[in-house]
Amino acid sequence: MVVESVRDVMANKKNIDLSDPNLSGLILRLAIPSIVGLSINALQQAVNAIFVGALGAQAIAAVSMTLPVVVLLTAVGQGIGVGTASFISRHLGAGEYLEASRGASTALALAAPIGIMLTVVLLLNLRRIFVTLGATPTIMPVVLDYAATLLFGYTLMLLNIVNGFIVRAEGNTRFSMWTMMTAFILNAVLDPAFIFLLGLGVRGAALATLVSQIAAISLYIAHFSKLRGIVLVKLSYISLRTSRIRKIASIGAPATMTGILSAIASMLLYGAAAPFGDDCIAAIGIGVRLLTIGALPITGFCMGSQAVLGFGWGARDLPRVLKAAKLMLSMSVALSAAYSAAVVSFARPLVKLFSDSENVTEIAVLTCVVFHLFFWLFGIESFVTSMLQSFGRARLSVVVPLARHCYFFIPAVLLLPLISGFNGLLASQATAELGAGMVATLVMFQQFAELRRSLRHPTSAAIAN
């Protein structure tokens, strides 16, 4: 029996060749579709907000109030997806295609009941949840209508998130991008039709999202059923072996925890801004929006190129891993540094795109400058987290996000506003960015030193699969 090489298998499947010696070109081919895909996802949220906003203040408030719930639910999908992608890319690098396929099939088999269970639990407690979040009696009927409809599609959303990570892990970032683009276009077309033409209001927006999720899952089903990828998803490959699930969960759990902490941090930030008035809340909102816009391409870049590190790690090709890591680091830092400099230098014209109020503009300019002073470190943070996930180092992968939220931001946002007022609130974000960046830098140097030691003494290199 002839065993095909990694290059031959990938060429036959018409995917991007993860063993391509042109690393810079390979990284860009993987990263650019991921950047576009993440940007499309953010744009879809903006389009929904625009159409819902035409229904009035209650409608936009109701949709905005569901955001923390959506973020928390998305974090579950991100966790399963990150763990699965790390598992797949490392096993593909080791030439273990069957094990990679078993991991993907098992992850999807676990995601479906998790989605159904969370949907049932949330539907049964929906009113209590929104009372806790502060929904008023006038908003409550609208938010319940929107959230209940949206939740019926949550399992599909969860499966689509995991499917996206699976195809990106095998190097097929373009298919993931086109799937998200198809869902976005369909959602943008159906939003006005359902909301206004059919008179469904906010429920129409949720139904449009549901239909777009059905379209996306249909594309993924067609992709896997026609065996277009290296990773195969089959019922016969589903295996509930504890060791396999543990490997996926050990990497995925920190990613889920990061999403949950991010949602909590966001709620604390806006809660701390509330006593300073509506203009300060608006200014914080502008600063956070610009931070999010800057983070998207960097996160997309690291997410897309992560497969290169995982593949090289699984193949025990440490020289390639080190070279790819340096390229990814330089590109991610260049992106974050350029964006940081641009926002700090052009804060006023950027803020004026979001507000024409002079008072809000003055506060927002200061907010944006302080928020972005250390944003150049975000490139290091994002790269280090992706690298550790690629290597399967579960405990270390949680260090940077844990440091950002638990050790720096949450204590700072609870304490500094009491000491220095609104300036203290602004300083809490800068403190978190600086502190997390320093922790990420230390971890990065430690990992690079370990890689170099392994290169000098190959027999001592322990590759975690």
Q: Cα(99)–Cα(106) distance, rounded to whole angstroms?
A: 10
pLDDT for res 393: 81
Q: Cα(212)–Cα(153) distance, rounded to whole angstroms?
A: 10
Q: Cα(319)–Cα(325) distance, rounded to whole angstroms?
A: 10
What is the per-residue pLDDT across 124-161, written as a single tens digit (0 to 9) for each? 998 988 887 667 787 788 889 988 998 988 899 999 99
pLDDT for res 386: 87
How is residue 412 written in tokens?
């700072």
- pLDDT tier for residue 344 given thresholds of 50, 70 and 90: very high
Which residue would you say has higher pLDDT here, 301 or 356? 301
> Which of 333, 374, 406, 303 has the alpha carbon at shortest distance from 31?
303
Q: Cα(17)–Cα(29) distance, rounded to whole angstroms?
A: 10
- pLDDT tier for residue 399 given thresholds of 50, 70 and 90: confident
pLDDT for res 6: 44
What is the per-residue pLDDT across 421-456, written as a single tens digit (0 to 9) for each? 999 999 999 999 999 999 999 999 999 999 888 888
**8-state DSSP, 5:** P
How is residue 338 written in tokens?
């350029």
How is residue 361 written in tokens?
């503009």
For the ranges 16-20, 65-69, 194-198, 459-463, which has the lowest average pLDDT? 459-463
Q: Cα(58)–Cα(86) distance, rounded to whole angstroms?
A: 42
Q: Whole-number mean pLDDT of the chain?
A: 84
**How many C-alpha atoms does 15 have within 13 Å on its Cβ side?**
28
Q: What is the mean pLDDT of residues 281-288?
A: 81
pLDDT at residue 78 tops 50: yes
pLDDT for res 133: 67
What is the per-residue pLDDT across 212-226, written as a single tens digit (0 to 9) for each? 999 999 999 998 888
Sequence-separated (6 or more) residues with CB below 8 Å from residue 93? 6, 18, 310, 311, 312, 313, 314, 315, 316, 317
pLDDT at residue 337 tops 90: yes
* The residue to which tokens 């936009």 are assigned: 60
Q: Cα(184)–Cα(214) distance, rounded to whole angstroms?
A: 12
Which amino acid is present at 76?
A: V
pLDDT at residue 46 tops 80: no
Q: What is the mean pLDDT of residues 373-400?
A: 87
Question: For the chain, what is the radius of gyration of the CA atoms?
Answer: 22
Residue 135: φ, ψ to 5° = -65, 130
